[in-house]
Chain A
Amino acid sequence: MKKENFAAYIFLLPWLVGFFLLTIQPIVSSFYLSLTEYDTVSDPYFIGFENYEYMFVDDYRFWEALKVTFFFVAVGVPFKLGFALAIALWLNQGVQGLSLYRAVFYLPSLLGSSVAVGILWRQVFHTDGLVNYLLAFLGISGPSWLSDPDTSIYTVILLTIWQFGSPMLIFLAGLRQIPHDLYEASSIDGASKFRQFWKITLPLLAPVIFFNLVLQTIDAFKTFNNVFIISGGNGSPVDSLLFYTLYLYQQGFEFFRMGYASALAWVLLIIISIFTAIYFYTSKYWVYYESEK
């Protein structure tokens, strides 16, 4: 294919300038810091790969954090995406008052992870909160969801799912870009709704599904705000909410080990990159772009 180097680099210029001026230096510094002992007050002290060694050999909380985070990603991402897609499809069928429902479903996401959400969520899942109040009608005496180490992670997963508005909106935008006449043509051919979904909607939506999958996975691995406000910042009870970035934050900003925190960050970066690489690699088989046909 013909190269359009000149034009392409003109378009890329703002990004390149920003990248070299503002972004690359902090990234490189953080890698260097991962090879040092750095308490943020004194100058960093070079120690080679000791941080990484300590992480893999001695630090059981690192493994604990990985466990919690992987579980969260494995459960949270599919559910959130499934939910967002289902609702988007449903809304896209043309309901009266569509924009009202869309707004309603998006509202919780607008709340983001402000302090208010933390308080709110604790209230809903408290021993005598709404959830247990409803369960009581069914004769079930519910646990103290958030403060019981066996159930606390699910409340965070639920909070994440509850805020499914962003992927939903992206799905909706994607659905809106599918040309109408494709459906009309296939209706004339007598295709069933299910077949239309399988043959038209899914393939044409694939790039957007792919986008949401990649982004939600990255986001889930980096989950911080929601857990920070829910767990009181320390991953309790019994480390059941010790998400990876929470641990990283604690090491860096609470225990004055910014060098170690940087090492943790780079390990996470590698983990996320592997997942993303796998997604991109497999996307050849299931994501087709109109522009590449």
Chain B
Amino acid sequence: MKQNRLLKHLYLAIASLVMLYPLLWMLSSSFKPESIIFNDLSLWPSQFTFENYPNGWQALRIDFSIFYKNSAIVAVFSVIGNLISCAFTAYAFARLEFNFKRFWFALMMMTLMLPYHVVLIPQYILFLKLGWVNTYYPLIVPKFLAQEAFFIFLMVQFFKQLPRELDESAMMDGCSVFRIFFKIIVPLSIPAFGTAAIFSFYWTWEDFFGPLIYLNDIEKYTVPLALRAFVSAEDLSFYGESFAMSILSLIPVFIFFIIFQRFIIHGIAMSGIKG
């Protein structure tokens, strides 16, 4: 039995190494001088340099602390917006009966399927008319209006898994649908919220296309947009600094992930209640 467990850890360790190698390579490259990055396969730098970090941090007109602040604003608001608004919408789709339900659901799914590149220009013109270009509104407001269908669908799937009897018995006790939502559905769906929070944070954190199109001033750039400024197809690229900043940009997402994955585990304790 014990041997078995050891074996399992061994497998996991090997799998982890395979998963992590490219990342480790990037980490080690961020400590290598520019000229040896692509000629040195080993994970241990033959020449060490720490300069990529301070240089990268201040490589652009604005230093990265501003970009981190901007990214944090966008990401935090997006998470809050997505969680609240998508939970509302999902509750209606998952547990309430109403007219045209299938129609609205199909429309909602459709917004997931259209490649975003073709709605980009009409959307840009729309936001331009609203005077929102070069502000964070185009990146945040849609989240508060449940326009990320992914999260609606995700929560629908989880909400549907909760036994009907819960609502019915609550209904008998005279609870309104609103009370049921807040008192029963939300507390029982913590794993779904945890998952949605992680995705929501990470997707907004790494999204560059939205910021690329809507933000003009470098003072407003988010981290991924700033990162892209390092690597230009035709000209001189600063790989070492780019890797260093990429590594740093992973840290907030990783911390967020570590914190919120607890809520996924949280599911165990709560789902003791059986319908």
Contacts and interface: CB of A to CB of B under 8 A. Distances in A.
Contact between chain A and chain B defined by CB under 8 Å? yes
A140 interface: no
A15 B84 CA distance: 11
Interface string B80-108: 00000100110110111111010010011
Nearest to B239: A119
Contacts of B55: none
Contact of A114 (B112, B123, B227): B227
B67 to A, nearest CB: 14
Chain A facing B: main interface SS: helix
A104 B20 contact: yes
A179 B119 contact: no
Contact of B202 (A110, A173, A204): A110
Given A12-B104, A130-B21, A208 B157 contact: yes
Given A25-B126, A269-B114, A121 B261 contact: no
Q: Which of B19, B152, B164, B178 has the most CB of A within 10 A?
A: B19
A45 to B, nearest CB: 16
Given A112-B202, A116-B243, A4 B164 contact: no
B146 A110 contact: no
Interface string A81-123: 0000000000000011101011111111011111110011101
Classify chain B: how many residues form its interface, as a range: 35 or more
Nearest to B233: A232
Contact of A115 (B91, B152, B242): B242
B231 A115 contact: yes
Interface stretch (B46-54, B68-76, B267-275): B267-275
A265 B118 contact: yes
A68 interface: no
B180 to A, nearest CB: 10
Contacts of B20: 104, 107-108
A271 B109 CA distance: 14
Given A9-B98, A15-B85, A114-B224, A248 B118 contact: yes
Among A9, A30, A103, A248, the one with the most B-chain Cβ atoms within 10 Å of its Cβ is A30
B115 A290 contact: no
A55 interface: no
A222 B115 contact: yes
B218 to A, nearest CB: 18
A3 B97 contact: yes
B22 A120 contact: yes
B261 to A, nearest CB: 6
A96 B8 CA distance: 10
Given A101-B16, A291-B164, A292-B160, A15 B145 contact: yes
B44 to A, nearest CB: 14
A258 B41 contact: no
A4 to B, nearest CB: 5
B20, B22, B195, B228, most chain A CB atoms within 10 A? B22
Contact of A176 (B9, B108, B267): B267
Is chain B's interface secondary structure helix, strand, loop, or mixed overall? helix
B153 A179 contact: no
Contacts of B271: 176-180
Interface string A8-37: 110111111111011101110110011000
Contacts of A12: 88-89, 92, 98, 104
A18 B146 contact: yes
A218 interface: yes
B32 to A, nearest CB: 12
Contact of A173 (B111, B192, B254): B192
Interface string B136-177: 000001101111001011100111111110000000000011
A167 to B, nearest CB: 11
Nearest to B224: A114
Contacts of A52: none
B79 to A, nearest CB: 15
Given A105-B16, A208-B157, A252-B118, A111 B272 contact: no
B9 A248 contact: no
Interface of A: 1-5, 7-9, 11-19, 21-23, 25-27, 29-30, 33-34, 40, 95-97, 99, 101-108, 110-116, 119-121, 123-124, 128-130, 133, 162, 166, 169-170, 172-174, 176-182, 204, 207-208, 210-211, 214-215, 218, 221-222, 224, 232-233, 245, 248-249, 252-253, 258, 261-262, 264-266, 268-269, 272-273, 276, 289-293
Q: 5 closest pairs, A vs B, by CB?
A: A18-B145, A176-B267, A8-B98, A29-B122, A26-B122
Given A8-B97, A211-B154, 12 more contacts: A7-B92, A14-B146, A101-B16, A104-B19, A110-B250, A177-B158, A179-B272, A179-B274, A222-B113, A258-B118, A269-B110, A273-B110
25 contacts: A8-B92, A14-B88, A19-B147, A22-B123, A27-B119, A30-B114, A97-B9, A108-B22, A108-B23, A110-B250, A114-B224, A115-B228, A123-B22, A173-B192, A173-B195, A180-B271, A211-B157, A222-B115, A224-B117, A249-B117, A253-B117, A268-B113, A291-B164, A292-B160, A293-B164
